[in-house]
Structure 1
């Protein structure tokens, strides 16, 4: 980053070995801005770039190629346009491609004009602020940039800031997913509520419902696979010959292992207690029985494998939450999602959790269930509302999650308790 706010020059090398990088520095040095700009570039939210003064924003990939966003901040006149240009350089720093992202005055007047156009010409949207608009004709949320992309033609020519993205840039964005977990994470704008003046709902409520839907989807997949396997079971049994090394003891061990997996899935809230009931097998069984049971064992393993990844994530979520929350515990229900219960047996709705508890739950959920494999996750101020003891444990939890979900993390923090003894993972933002 060059000349951020006309002052700061920052370089942030990512820790590719341990896959977690922590940036820290005084307020106003641009920690949150850098996360927003990365998210804006890779998620087509270009107004995040045009409203921030800088000279050059450079992203270097591990193959040596570089994406460079440039703009002029020399003339601060409100009538002066500042073209924001994206360039692609190869590993030899030769320019390969160029694309003008935005050509709009980087001042609040232009944003206000575009907001007025949206409100007057696109009646199905309600501008909440320059970042969020709700589309009421379909249950869909659109960012300000999304609205401009979709309804570009309704804007006067001088207010059309978004140019169509070239194929080479679309390809780059598909190769790396970037997700921002913002400091404001307790409210969710993904659902549109009918009636009421405030369209927000709490993130914990939205994610509880989302988790239930995810479980129902896996159950449907499980059911379809079970039907397919049951339908072909007789034919496969007839074709199967028992392997000479397959003993009654080995089959018994396999069935015991399956029962342990089933128990874990029941504990995770994914299966009911009475599904695929266990039965005892005589260790001295004939070859016909061995053939039947070997097919049965393989089928059950295939069916349970549908839940494997989801069960791992739920187990980690429950373990962390139940080790942190005082006098209450979390379980998962396939109809309701999160279930919280006090030590005296009373149920709590997710919205009745404390601010710190909601922050912890939302961060964990977004990392475990919403992050795509091989993506870069940006976390702004993970310490918000968290007790210092929780902050001290956060990095260890994050390392385990990053390994399971296969993600890289770049986070901005003010908290030495978050960093703990891992200052080797940090990059300090310094003044001029």
Structure 2
């Protein structure tokens, strides 16, 4: 199931927008003046599909409609505030399915406990990285320079608050809504993407609270863990196959239809695959890995043993196929971009990203840290890593301002890189941009957000 169109009415009390998604090329670009709601539309989609209803309540709109390619429709209706201007439990979701009754659900807003020894207002700056208290009931959120009230902080950062502070009211979603969300995965790549929330144990109150870390560093550690997990899986399969190898060789039926040339070709392909996996950091270099077979070496018994060997190695190396393709594409794109500043990326099971540089073609390589990368280089790396490693197949990926910190040459190349990524990851992309250099000559992929008719 895929989303084919979204529409919003009364956005900020002003705008009505209809956005059909490009179902063939799988890239849709929305553009328009500042203040017309590009980012808000992405946030509404992300908030609904990831059950961040507190955030959904903070965005001003009357209705938001999502139409799917199987004729299902979800509509979010937002009722106005009450007479005192206080927000009500004002979200209602309606689900329309052909030839079925209309289903609905109204999620409850979060409530904070007031019977605790420590009021939550006194420790919000500990719980939420980047939040600084500036008065008894006001906080500055440093990454966006916004001043927020207690209610606004709780609404915005509900997902970061420990469950101990929340009233244990039922917030279970109905089965039809859970099923819908299980078929549609949505991920938002925000404009602020260089800082990342990671779990951290607070020594003062024995709470697991998030802390901020450079996203490049966080993703480097994450990739190292992914690579290690694949290597462990490879080792487990290897042990199983190696243990039964002698028995399977003995039981192997003669392979008379396999020619010597075909067998050599299979062995050469395996060595090429192994060399590639070593190159991208997934396998350690093994000096004895080459398997040289001379014409006079192959008799029928040897051929039988080698055919089993080939099957085994193919099974072992197959665990790396998906991650190796992603690492290779990431390496190719990044090294093409970083070449101008004499930097290079490689990968390691121990370190994840490994950055090196040289001042001239003849100088020695010098290892760099992630903090040595420019803002633009970090933005490019984080954006590509998100697209390749943080999304599931058939997801809808939302990208807010992909052009941030990228010079014009990189912006011009972005759509081509994105098309290569989509081929590999099988995702749809909806992005919001101000940059004509991102769009280039592909205005057929764009939807313009317009103001009121004069």
TM-score category, normalised to shorter length:
0.7 to 0.9
**Deviations 1:115-167, CA, capped at 9 Å, x for gaps:** x997269999714459x9xxxxxxxxxx8333679458537xxxx7x732111
Normalising by structure 2, we get a TM-score of: 0.84
Residues 72 and 276 (structure 1), Cα distance of their counterparts in 2 relative to 1, 3 Å cut: farther
Which of 394, 404, 409 is the equivalent residue of 2:414?
394
Aligned residues of 2:64 and 2:75 also touching (Cα < 8 A): yes
Which of 360, 371, 374 is the equivalent residue of 2:380?
360
Aligned residues of 2:65 and 2:74 also touching (Cα < 8 A): yes
Pair 1:243-2:255 in alignment: yes
1:139 matched to which residue of 2?
Answer: none
2:135 matched to which residue of 1?
Answer: none
Pair 1:61-2:68 in alignment: yes
1:222 matched to which residue of 2?
Answer: 234
206-215 vs 247-256, which moves further: 247-256
Runs of 4+ deviating beyond 4 Å:
110-114, 120-125, 147-153, 193-198
Query: What secondary structure does 1:310 align onto?
Result: helix
Residues 342 and 127 (structure 1), Cα distance of their counterparts in 2 relative to 1, 3 Å cut: closer
Query: What secondary structure does 1:58 align onto?
Result: strand
1:119 matched to which residue of 2?
Answer: 120
Provide the C-alpha distance between the structure 1 equivalents of 2:113 and 2:192, rounded to a whole number of angstroms: 23
Residues 153 and 126 (structure 1), Cα distance of their counterparts in 2 relative to 1, 3 Å cut: closer
1:299 matched to which residue of 2?
Answer: 312
Provide the C-alpha distance between the structure 1 equivalents of 2:202 and 2:123, rounded to a whole number of angstroms: 19
Aligned residues of 1:53 and 1:73 also touching (Cα < 8 A): no
Q: CA RMSD in A?
A: 3.0
Aligned residues of 2:89 and 2:107 also touching (Cα < 8 A): no
Which of 99, 104, 109 is the equivalent residue of 1:98?
104
The alignment of Structure 1 onto Structure 2 pairs a total of residues equal to 410
Query: What secondary structure does 2:347 align onto?
Result: strand
Residues 328 and 127 (structure 1), Cα distance of their counterparts in 2 relative to 1, 3 Å cut: closer
Pair 1:171-2:179 in alignment: yes
Query: What secondary structure does 1:6 align onto?
Result: coil
Normalising by structure 1, we get a TM-score of: 0.88
Aligned residues of 1:63 and 1:91 also touching (Cα < 8 A): no
1:253-332 equivalent positions in 2, closer than 5 A? 253-274=265-286, 277-284=289-296, 285-325=298-338, 326-332=341-347
1:181 matched to which residue of 2?
Answer: 189
**Deviations 1:29-57, CA, capped at 9 Å, x for gaps:** 10001101100000010112111121111
Residues 198 and 38 (structure 1), Cα distance of their counterparts in 2 relative to 1, 3 Å cut: closer
2:355 matched to which residue of 1?
Answer: 340
Aligned residues of 1:54 and 1:73 also touching (Cα < 8 A): no
Which of 59, 70, 81 is the equivalent residue of 2:77?
70
145-154 vs 422-431, which moves further: 145-154
Query: How far is 1:70 from its partner?
Result: 0.4
**Deviations 1:285-331, CA, capped at 9 Å, x for gaps:** 21111100000011111111111111111111111111001211111
Q: 5+ unaligned residues in a row in structure 2: which ranges? A: 1-7, 132-138, 142-155
